[in-house]
């Protein structure tokens, strides 16, 4: 059911439509804030950071005031008690419930705190760029102390009934609770341990040498744009720009902006970050446009979002089928580097596994270890079992325990991610949840006959994208992530699909069994 159909109804929906129109007006401001953030990370002159922080803080204060406007609260109270909330069309019921829940949660947060978080976030992100460049933890420690303390305050305000880490995680993955996430992660960790160890120890595994060479910036730009356009990203409704820490940002129903970084000597840096962000972008471009600014037009959760990005990046983009299709394009774009390399060699090279200090450059097999470590560290800080000042040591120790080596610099360690300076605390676990969801969703897709090898080899991505539009994108935020994955797969959410997928795709290549059970023995 379209929003515009409801708006055409003559009666019975007046209060509902008034609430929705208010929410849509607020979302206009939220997207303007999105532009401030996007611009800050792609375009902003070096000296303009302080003023941008003031702009963002001001806009955040105004947006918060409008979002928590009394009249809207009263209307939503009334609606939540009305028959529409229990007997209306399903999408109307869900919208009322979610707008009401959002309103209650946001109304408990003082505007001053919202403003302060917005200001601190921009200031800390600006400083982060300088801190990474200089590899100086000291530049960040004050900003991070402030940010963690502000977010703890936020958690206590908005969801006082929840554990503070759960309260934060709930903003990104509605309904997720850390004990349950922790239990899933532990199982995943245990199941992956033999594969990780096996890959590290294997001398048979492929190296990424085939992907190193000369990749001129302009040729890369043309190449990656071509790839994601063929996959289905609509450039008339989006962009691709350069940044320090790749992200995807939605500034309107027809304005989805991807960003990446480039390495002229190593193709995967841009190729896989663009495939990843384009996966996010395909989700955003697939959400119901008509419901933009309202829950049915919003993403289910960041875990589901990540499932889409990882699906295109890894399950499609690192497959031999993909490289069979992509190889002629890559060879044409980079003749100098790929003239003597085969498609199979490239497909293997993109699945090399080795300890990497940098999460966003990590391979699929070890990636989740990076995430689990951040999940544990940030939770310990929020639970006040770890001090921000002790983060570098805690980071290095944990990294050494997991990967057998210590980051030589802060830049390759605790400083590498923008999330903490940006205030994205409770966000990291959604990356591994996304990996788990992606494997289970891809399994369901293949059972439905889409995303199959022969389609991908032929560059025919439309069936898979269409299926994702129908089964994942169309429901917006009206379902929670686990319910959605269960609905689409017909099975309980489990890490086992991810484990199987990784063993199947990485085991034999690295001289190991494809069967987790055999490796576990």
By CB under 8 A, name the binding residues for its own copies: 25, 28-29, 31-32, 35-36, 39, 43-48, 50-52, 54-55, 58-59, 62, 234-239, 251-256, 292
Give the CA angle between residues 463, 464, 466 to the nearest 5°: 65
- Residues whose CB falls within 8 Å of the CB of residue 111, separated by 6 or more in sequence, listed in order: 61, 64, 65, 68
Is 258 or 422 the residue whose CB approaches its own copies more closely? 258
- Rounded to 10 degrees, the C-alpha dihedral 434/440/442/444 comes to -140
Is residue 84 within a helix (H) or strand (E), and if so which, with residue range?
helix 84-87
Widest distance between CA atoms in the chain: 71
HEC assignment per residue over 292-335: CCCHHHCCCCHHHHHHHHHHHHHHHCCCHHHHHHHHHHHHHHCH
Give dist(CA 355, CA 232) in Å, integer. 33
241 HSE (CA, 13 A, CB side): 17
To the query of whether residue 277 is one of the catalytic residues in this protein, the response is: yes
Query: Taking the complex as a whole, how short is the minimal distance between the CB of residue 357 and its own copies, in angstroms?
Result: 30
**How far apart are alpha carbons 438 and 481 in whole angstroms?**
12
Helix (H) / strand (E) element for 239: namely strand 238-242
What angle do helix axes 364-382 and 178-201 make, rounded to 10 degrees?
140
d(CA 242, CA 258): 9
Instruction: Note whether 19 and 72 are within 8 A (CB).
Output: yes
Q: Are 476 and 253 in contact (CB under 8 A)?
A: no
Distance from C-alpha of 327 to C-alpha of 345, rounded to nearest angstrom: 10
DSSP bridge pairs for 259: 241
**Dist CA 255 CA 183 (whole Å):** 38
Report the residue number, 56 or 433, with the smaller CB distance to its own copies: 56
CA 400 to chain centre: 26
Q: Residue 282 or residue 445: which is nearer to its own copies going by CB? A: 282
For tokens 């989006």, name the residue: 238
SS3 category, 258: strand
Reference 247, options 217, 274, 284; nearest CA is 274
Residue in 511, 83, 416, 35 with CA at minimum distance from that of residue 255: 35
Q: What is the DSSP letter of 212?
A: B
Residue 260, H or E segment = strand 255-260
To its own copies, the closest distance from the beta carbon of 137 in angstroms equals 25
Listed in sequence order, the residues at least 6 apart from 362 whose beta carbon sits closer than 8 Å to its beta carbon are: 356, 370
Give me the catalytic one of 277, 324, 348, 495.
277
Tokens found for residue 163: 């554990």
CA atoms of 515 and 495, how far apart (whole Å): 15
Active site residues: 277
């Amino acid at each position: 059911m379209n929003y515009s159909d409801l708006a055409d109804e003559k009666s019975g929906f007046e209060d509902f439509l008034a609430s929705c129109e208010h929410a849509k007006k607020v979302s206009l401001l939220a997207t303007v804030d999105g532009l401030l953030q996007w611009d800050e990370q792609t375009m902003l002159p070096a000296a303009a950071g302080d003023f941008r922080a003031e702009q963002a803080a001001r806009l955040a204060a105004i947006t918060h005031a409008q979002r928590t406007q009394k009249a809207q609260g009263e209307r939503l109270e009334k609606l939540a008690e009305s028959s529409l909330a229990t007997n209306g069309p399903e999408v109307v019921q869900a919208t009322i419930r979610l707008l009401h829940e959002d309103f209650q949660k946001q109304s408990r947060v003082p505007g001053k705190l919202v403003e302060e978080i917005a200001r601190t976030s921009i200031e800390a992100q600006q400083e982060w760029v300088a801190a990474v460049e200089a590899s100086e933890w000291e530049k960040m420690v004050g900003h991070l102390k402030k940010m963690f303390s502000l977010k703890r305050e936020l958690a206590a305000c908005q969801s006082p009934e929840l554990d503070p880490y759960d309260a934060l995680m709930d903003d990104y993955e509605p309904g997720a609770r850390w004990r349950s996430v922790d239990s899933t992660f532990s199982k995943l960790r245990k199941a992956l341990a033999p594969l990780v160890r096996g890959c590290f120890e294997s001398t048979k595994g492929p190296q990424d040498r085939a992907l190193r060479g000369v990749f001129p910036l302009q040729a890369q730009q043309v190449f990656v744009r071509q790839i994601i356009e063929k996959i289905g990203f609509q450039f008339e409704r989006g962009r691709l720009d350069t940044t320090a820490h790749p992200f995807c940002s939605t500034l309107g129903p027809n304005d989805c902006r991807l960003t990446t970084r480039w390495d002229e000597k190593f193709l995967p840096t841009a190729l896989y970050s663009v495939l990843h962000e384009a996966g996010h972008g395909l989700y955003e471009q697939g959400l119901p446009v008509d419901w933009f600014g309202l829950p049915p037009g919003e993403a289910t959760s960041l875990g589901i979002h990540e499932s889409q990005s990882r699906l295109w990046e890894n399950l499609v983009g690192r497959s031999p089928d993909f490289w069979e299709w992509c190889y002629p394009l890559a060879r044409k774009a980079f003749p100098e580097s790929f003239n003597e390399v085969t498609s199979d060699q490239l497909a293997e090279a993109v699945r090399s596994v080795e300890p990497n200090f940098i999460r966003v450059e990590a391979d699929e097999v070890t990636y989740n270890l990076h995430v689990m470590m951040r999940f544990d560290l940030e939770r310990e800080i929020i639970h006040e079992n770890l001090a921000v000042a002790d983060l570098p040591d805690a980071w290095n120790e944990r990294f050494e325990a997991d990967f057998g080596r210590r980051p030589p610099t802060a830049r390759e360690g605790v400083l590498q991610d923008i999330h903490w300076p940006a205030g994205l605390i409770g966000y990291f676990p959604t990356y591994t949840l996304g990996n788990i969801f992606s494997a289970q969703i891809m399994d369901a897709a293949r059972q439905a006959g889409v995303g199959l090898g022969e389609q991908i080899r032929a560059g025919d991505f439309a069936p898979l994208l269409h299926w994702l539009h129908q089964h994942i994108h169309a429901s917006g935020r009206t379902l929670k992530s686990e319910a959605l994955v269960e609905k689409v797969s017909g099975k309980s959410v489990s890490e086992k699909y991810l484990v199987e997928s990784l063993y199947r795709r990485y085991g034999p290549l690295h001289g190991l069994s494809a069967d987790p059970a055999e490796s576990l023995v």
